[in-house]
Structure 1
Amino acid sequence: MKGIIFTEFMDLVEEKFGLEILDKVLQDAEDNGVYTSVGSYDHRDLVKLIVQLSQETGVSVEDLQKVFGQSVFQKLYARLPENASLLECKNCFQFIRLVEDYIHIEVRKLYAEANPPKFVFISESQSELVFDYHSARCMSHVCLGLVEGCAAHFNQSVSVEMVPQSEDQKHVRFQVALMETQ
């Protein structure tokens, strides 16, 4: 997993819970907290930090992952190259489709060892997008947060249903429906 995910996670923990909590989480997880945004790290280290933060704060692991996904969307979006086709997207469905067709392909080109999640699109209409999320990392709630962060970026309200397709949640179906805005 790319280090930017780790550095953004630690920034979020410090921002939302304070430096004291971040230090305690790192200490209790026996993690030195030294990550660079361009480095590659074992995703299990991030999972360990999330679990430790959950134990420290009483916030569920799923909720922490979701909030992280919502928060990190804007930061990752801001890092897109100026010529990225993603910047021309007009809505969240268009952007989500290009994550698989652009971001994940570029990540694989830049980092041969990278193993980003895979999105398999099932159906799409004006008001609903259904796709399957496949990831060995089992972090579907981060994906949920990213989808919600994406919708917020495009000023759209969405309802997201997650339906596990495997017991270990390596395969989850997302049904994203646009909500009417008043």
Structure 2
Amino acid sequence: MKGIIFTEFMELVEDKFGLEVLDEVLEMSGDEGIYTAVGSYDHNDLVKLIVNLSKKTKIDPATLQQVFGQTVFKTLLASIPETASIGQSHSTFQFIRHVEDYIHVEVKKLYSDAQPPKFYFISETETEMVMDYQSARCMSNVCLGLIEGCATHFGETITVDMSPQSDDSSLVRFHLTLA
């Protein structure tokens, strides 16, 4: 997992809960908190940070992942070159389609060892999109938060239903409905 995810997570924790809580979560996790945005790190370290933040704050880990996804969307959006096709998106559905066609492709070009999640588009109309999200990291709630952050960016109201398609939640179906 790319370090930018770790650095953004730690920034969110510090902003929302304070430096003292961040330090306690790092200590609980046996983590020094030294990450670079371009480095690659084991996603299990992020999971451990989220679980320990949940213990500390009494907030469900799924909710923490979702809020993280909502927050990190802005940072990821800002990192996209203005000339990129994804930057020309005018709706949440357009943007999500471009994630698979542009962002994940670019990530693989830049970092040959990267393993971004995969989106499999099942169906789409003007008001509904059904897609499968597949990731060995099983962080579909981060994906949910990213979708919500995207909808907010485009000023759209979207309801999202998630249903695991595998026992370990490495494959999750998202049904998005534009209100």
| TM, length-normalised to structure 2 | 0.99
- C-alpha separation between the residues in 2 aligned to 1:150 and 1:134? 19
Paired position in structure 2 for 1:69: 69
Tell me how far 1:82 sits from its aligned partner: 2.1
RMSD: 0.4
- C-alpha separation between the residues in 2 aligned to 1:79 and 1:110? 14
3-state SS in 2 of match to 1:112: coil
Paired position in structure 2 for 1:8: 8
Paired position in structure 2 for 1:101: 101
* AA in 2 matched with 1:33: G
* CA deviation map 1:97-128 (0-9, x unaligned): 00000000110111010000000000000000
* CA deviation map 1:37-74 (0-9, x unaligned): 00000000000000000000000000000000000001
* AA in 2 matched with 1:3: G
* AA in 2 matched with 1:13: V
3-state SS in 1 of match to 2:175: strand
| TM, length-normalised to structure 1 | 0.98
Identity of aligned residues (%): 63
Residue ranges of structure 1 left out of the alignment (5+ in a row):
none
The count of corresponding residues between Structure 1 and Structure 2 is 179
Residue ranges of structure 2 left out of the alignment (5+ in a row):
none
Tell me how far 1:86 sits from its aligned partner: 1.0
Greater shift, 73-82 or 61-70, is seen at 73-82
Paired position in structure 2 for 1:139: 139
Greater shift, 118-127 or 83-92, is seen at 83-92
Paired position in structure 2 for 1:28: 28
* AA in 1 matched with 2:11: D
* CA deviation map 1:132-167 (0-9, x unaligned): 000000000000000000000000000000010011
- C-alpha separation between the residues in 1 aligned to 2:8 and 2:26? 14
- C-alpha separation between the residues in 2 aligned to 1:12 and 1:85? 29
Tell me how far 1:87 sits from its aligned partner: 1.0
